[in-house]
Amino acid sequence: FLKATAVATLATGVSAVAGSVKAQDKKFTIALIPGLTTDAFYITMRKGAEAAAKAVGAELVFQGAPDFNPVTQVPVLDAIIAKKPDAILIAPTDKDQLIQPLKKAADAGIPVITVDTFIGTGVYQTGKGDADFPLSYIASDNLLGGAIAARALAKAIGEKGKVYVSNVKPGISTTDQREQGFKDEMKKYPNITVLETQYNDDDANKAASQMQAVYARNSDLDGVFGANLFSALGAANGVQQAGQTGKIRVVAFDAPTTIVDNINSGLVDLAIAQHPAEIGYFGVMAAYAHLTGNSIPTSIGTGFTVIDKSNVTDKNVAKFIYSD
Ligand code: T6T
């Protein structure tokens, strides 16, 4: 009988000590649903999450859609909910469209933490509204990131001229805030005109052709802010294809490996690297803290590293370039 109990206890991963269950001995399963799977930003986030899962003996399940789209993300979320993980970390691909699908997880008793992006206003656990049920929001300060981009682009173009934002699509918390932070900061530069935003659906090729179209309409275009990885990559490619390297200045959000070449060649002035590994690491740690009965902050901010020609070879900077 004793033997059988021991086996059963081991199988569930829960150990009974003097009649009580030690929750910290349970092997928790934590799911991480990225915005999309084939994006160096989320690949790097996964690494941080895996490091934290290893540290606390949890299992990390990484499952996502191939594109940044609620239509493809929601079925992945539903499949994860059906498996009943102990917690869900998710980068919601739309502020509004993921509220109801995530509510299903919360109603099923699965704690939800959003990483990178948020739902609703991103202010959680207030008892207000229909989207405050996630326990925590772990991310970069995207308004600040947009302001940093504006200051850098303004400086690069001598504080005068025409610029535009290459962005993904409206409704994504991160990129909406970057654009807002950028435009608010640009109000401080009366001689800079911000042209209409170009939305590329997270497609770098589309961002490249849009760049050329904007330039065709505005031969005096001075700069572009690429508000995420594919927007920046595409806008930079567009500048190169138009033969305007160094003339139309590019400020990039995100730091895939290609950014190094682009900075060295002068195609991109500066890249704002987020710290996605930190987001993944703290995401898992927050989930684990909650699951073991500890309180967690309703928001955790992670940092940026601004990369340009002057520091791109510094190993303390280069370590923030994303993993492929
Ligand atoms: O910029 C990141 C992420 O922060 C954003 O929410 C979506 O785009 C990226 O994944 C980069 O492609």
* pLDDT confidence of residue 7: 38
Residues having CB closer than 6 A to ligand 1 are: 35, 39, 41-42, 116-117, 174, 228-230, 253-254, 274
User: For 14-23, 33-42, 127-136, 178-187, which range has the lowest pLDDT when averaged over its residues?
Assistant: 14-23
What digits encode the pLDDT tens for the residues 79-97? Answer: 999 999 999 999 999 999 9
pLDDT > 70: what percent of the chain? 92
Ligand 1 atom closest to the CA of 139, numbered from 1: 4
Distance from residue 280's CA to the centre of ligand 1 (Å): 13
User: Given a cut of 50, is residue 4 above it in pLDDT?
Assistant: no
Distance (Å, rounded) from C-alpha 33 to C-alpha 105? 13
pLDDT, residue 1, reads 35
- Inter-residue contact 90 to 114 (CB < 8 Å): yes
User: How far, in Å, is the centroid of ligand 1 from the Cα of 116?
Assistant: 8
Q: How far apart are CA 36 and CA 168, in angstroms?
A: 13
Give CA–CA dist 197/218, Å, rounded: 14
- Write the pLDDT tens digit of every residue in 186-195: 999 999 999 9
Helix, strand, coil: what percent of the chain each, to 5? 40, 20, 40
Q: Does 229 score more than 60 pLDDT?
A: yes
Pick the residue whose CA is nearest to atom 2 on ligand 1: 228
Which tens digit of pLDDT belongs to each residue from 36-66? 999 999 999 999 999 999 999 999 999 999 9
Q: Which atom of ligand 1 is nearest to the CA of 34?
A: 10
Q: Which of 237, 240, 250, 93 is nearest to 165 (CA)?
A: 250
Q: Going by CA atoms, what residue is nearest to atom 12 of ligand 1?
A: 229
User: So what's the pLDDT on residue 22?
Assistant: 54
Average pLDDT over residues 206-233: 98
Indicate whether 18 pLDDT > 50. no
Give me the amino acid identity at 306. V
- Written as six digits, the tokens of 264 are 């060295």
Q: What is the ipTM of this complex?
A: 0.99
- pLDDT score recorded for residue 26: 85
DSSP E strands in the chain: the ranges are 16-17, 20-21, 29-33, 59-62, 87-90, 112-115, 136-140, 161-167, 192-194, 198-199, 221-226, 249-253, 270-274, 299-302, 304-308
Q: Which atom of ligand 1 is nearest to the CA of 91?
A: 6
Atom 10 in ligand 1: residue holding the nearest Cα: 41
